[in-house]
Amino acid sequence: MFIYLLFLFTVIPLVELVILIRIGQYIGTLNTILIVVITGIIGASLAKYQGLKVVIRIRKEIASGQLPAGTLFDGLLIFIAGVLLITPGLLTDCLGFALLTPPFRKLIKTYIRQKVEEHLPRQRIHIEPIDYEE
């Protein structure tokens, strides 16, 4: 776990910094700063818009008696996308924008579902319905 945190909080920001410095050398400091600010604003706006759509879908699913598990997970991924998009850097922006697209979110959800199913011992899980009428 420590290695993942070290990578997340040290290596990724350093790579982002190197990329921003290199881009700044080619297109100039002001243009690089403008790219970071504009992608942050656009990304935050898109994340807010998609987040509101998810809230509406959750309300509709609950009103129709459905469990909105998939939609809640979409909301979590959109939240993560928003955080990535307001973080300065082009790699995080690319991942953030990718998370805002439904096909990429579906790919991520499928991957996570497969990983969870691999780690759950199927023989030990027993679910019984709850009788609420008592």
The pTM of this model reads 0.77
What span, in angstroms and rounded, lies between the C-alpha atoms of 82 and 124?
Answer: 38
Average pLDDT of 15-20?
92
Q: CA angle, corner 85, sides to 83 and 86, nearest 5? A: 70
What are the structural domain ranges in the chain? 2-117
Give me the chain's average pLDDT, please: 86
Structure tokens at 46: 């898109």
Whether residue 124 is predicted with pLDDT greater than 70 in this model: the reply is no
